[in-house]
A and B are shown apart, each in its own frame.
Chain A
Amino acid sequence: MTLLDAPKSTSVPATDGRAGSPGRRRAGRAGQVLRWTALRLLALAVLLVAWQAVVAAGVWPRVLVPAPAEVWRALVRASTVHDGVRGVSGHLLVEHLAVSLRRIALGTGYAALAGVPLGLLIGVVRPLAVVLEPAVTFLRTLPPLAYLSLLVIWFGIDESPKIWLLVIAALPPITAATAAAVRGVPGDLVEAARALGAGPVSVLLAVRLPAALPEILTGIRIAVGIAYTSVVAAETINGVPGIGGMIRDAQRYNQTDLVIAGLLAIGLSGILLDALFRGVERAAVPWRGRA
């Protein structure tokens, strides 16, 4: 049996018209999770071994490709107070990360506050869609580094241009997902609501909005991901504290190990946040895929 073997269907012959007992199904799922975790750890080990082998072989100079152990030491150095120095640039790694996460949360939060109502309007008001949809697409195709210059001219180098950059990066996916979801709401449900005497406003707020909620949440999750990839761009100017600023500083002094350590911190926190968000989605829309 290989690691990837799907668990055998555990359903017992259905006598009551239901699928197999929940207990056995849960056991099967737990086994699968265990096998997948093992597979992931194995892949990680293979990667580390290959990395170490490349470093040992001396293919590239150490300055360009540090050993795993050096990256680990950089991680420890960035996370502790040593010789009276607090982490890197006066802040611990978690503090850099926390500042960046706060910017991501604010940027995505404001983007959701503006993007969901905007998407609702675009979804139901045709003339608005004609005007605003190309604008949203335009905004989506712009690389954050390109409009950063404009934001710095307008807002200086403090916190506001960073938040603005993340808002602009996170707004299009939320707006587009909301508009598409609102349009995709089954006409059946809208008709049923109208048959019960619902007017256009209550159809929008009490039927279209909740029916679109699963896709809206997915749009927000994607926007968080985009804000994540944009935060380094947002922190290129006066970005310390901030994980992006920390990486920029490390690059300036050719601290490759610290750059990689910063990348690991971003990537791992991103995975955690994404998993958290998927959990929120499941909890908020338990009917998804069931009705």
Chain B
Amino acid sequence: MPRAETTGTAGAAVAAGAVDVELAGVSVLYGPAKAPVTAVEDVSLAVTPGEFVVLVGPSGCGKTTLLRLVAGFERPATGTVRVHRKVGVVFQQPRLFPWRTVAGNLAFALARHGVPRAARAARTEELLGLVGLPGMGGRRTWELSGGQRQRVAIARALAAEPQILLMDEPFAALDALTRERLQEEVRTLAAVTGTTVVFVTHSAEEAVLLGSRVLVMAAGPGRVVEEVAVPLPRGAGVDVAALRGAAPFASLRAELSRATREAAAGA
């Protein structure tokens, strides 16, 4: 499997000015070698530890491709991708293993992470508590609702203790109420654990609510056209639900909606 270059050691102390993810002059080509389609053209970006970076844009702008580059699922045609700490991935679909129970899915990740068998039960319960599913380890994955499955997928990704969490439209397939609740939980979780997050969405509202920094992308070929800093409060004590109704949130969302519409129209 093509793997992004990984340097440094997982869990190493983060020096001031350190970078978790670096993309430099990255282009990605798809299709036949004779007539390739440029999915992403000349993208450079850096993500620093603890940042919550959201990639937003219309379909086909290459935001998922950028995420897959960081995850190591794709290789750039030109440019370099450097990932300096351990990565975990949450996909749009939960992608749970149906032949394993909920606990079994977490055990798969814990085993690959080198957690000894004896410690797994306690760690599983801890993770399930973290995503709001305490005591659900014995359930079969198909007995769960869509929201619960995605919570298990998040717990499974966290089981490997990644310092960088990549999330590809993880809430797109959920109902509105579940989506809002999970948005709030992930925002708080990232802030509390200090996890770096790169998050892909096509929703301006989701981008403003979650991101500390939002990158607006345009299609044809995919590129970053605008960057918006989101100076909303973050941390354990922040009432995320209340943020949705706050004035700064509304104006930021309006600005971002305009930017994404322009990006879509300019494509």
Contacts and interface: CB of A to CB of B under 8 A. Distances in A.
A191 B97 contact: no
A79 to B, nearest CB: 43
Interface string A184-224: 00001101111111100010001100110100000000000
Contact of B141 (A197, A202, A291): A291
Contact of A194 (B1, B140, B159): B1
Contacts of B249: none
A210 B97 contact: yes
A158 B10 CA distance: 64
Given A196-B156, A286-B140, A210 B108 contact: no
A287 interface: yes
Given A195-B88, A196-B160, A286-B140, A291 B98 contact: yes
Given A196-B109, A197-B112, 6 more contacts: A189-B95, A192-B91, A195-B88, A210-B97, A290-B142, A291-B141
B113 A287 contact: no
Interface string B137-151: 000111000000000
Contact of A195 (B71, B97, B113, B141): B71
A53 interface: no
Given A287-B140, A291-B142, A192 B99 contact: no
What DSSP secondary structure best describes chain A's contact surface?
Answer: helix
A286 B101 CA distance: 12
11 contacts: A188-B91, A189-B97, A192-B95, A195-B89, A196-B108, A196-B159, A196-B160, A287-B98, A287-B142, A291-B96, A291-B141
A287 B144 CA distance: 13
Nearest to B156: A196
Interface in B88-139: 88-89, 91, 93, 95-100, 108-109, 112-113
Nearest to A209: B99
Contacts of A285: 99
Nearest to A202: B112
A197 B113 contact: yes
B73 interface: yes
B253 to A, nearest CB: 30
Nearest to B110: A196
B175 to A, nearest CB: 10
Interface of A: 188-189, 191-198, 202, 206-207, 210-211, 213, 285-287, 290-291
A191 B160 contact: no
The residue among B88, B91, B96, B99 with the most chain A CB atoms within 10 A of its own CB is B99
Contact of A196 (B100, B112, B140): B112
A291 B105 CA distance: 14
Contacts of A188: 91, 93, 95
Contacts of B109: 196-197
Contacts of A206: 108
Contacts of A286: 140
Interface in B222-243: none
B89 A192 contact: yes
Contacts of B108: 193, 196, 198, 206
B89 A290 contact: no
B112 A191 contact: no
Given A192-B89, A197-B113, A207 B97 contact: yes
A117 to B, nearest CB: 19
Interface in B144-167: 156-157, 159-160
A206 to B, nearest CB: 7
A112 to B, nearest CB: 19
A197 B98 contact: no
A287 B141 CA distance: 9
Contacts of A211: 97, 99
Contact of B73 (A189, A191, A198, A213): A191
A207 B100 CA distance: 10
B106 to A, nearest CB: 10
A41 to B, nearest CB: 36
Contact of A210 (B99, B113, B141, B159): B99
B160 A197 contact: yes
Contact of B99 (A196, A198, A287): A287
A194 B88 CA distance: 10
A213 B1 contact: no
A213 B97 CA distance: 13
Of listed A189, A198, A211, A287, residue having the most chain B CB within 10 A: A287
A193 B1 CA distance: 12
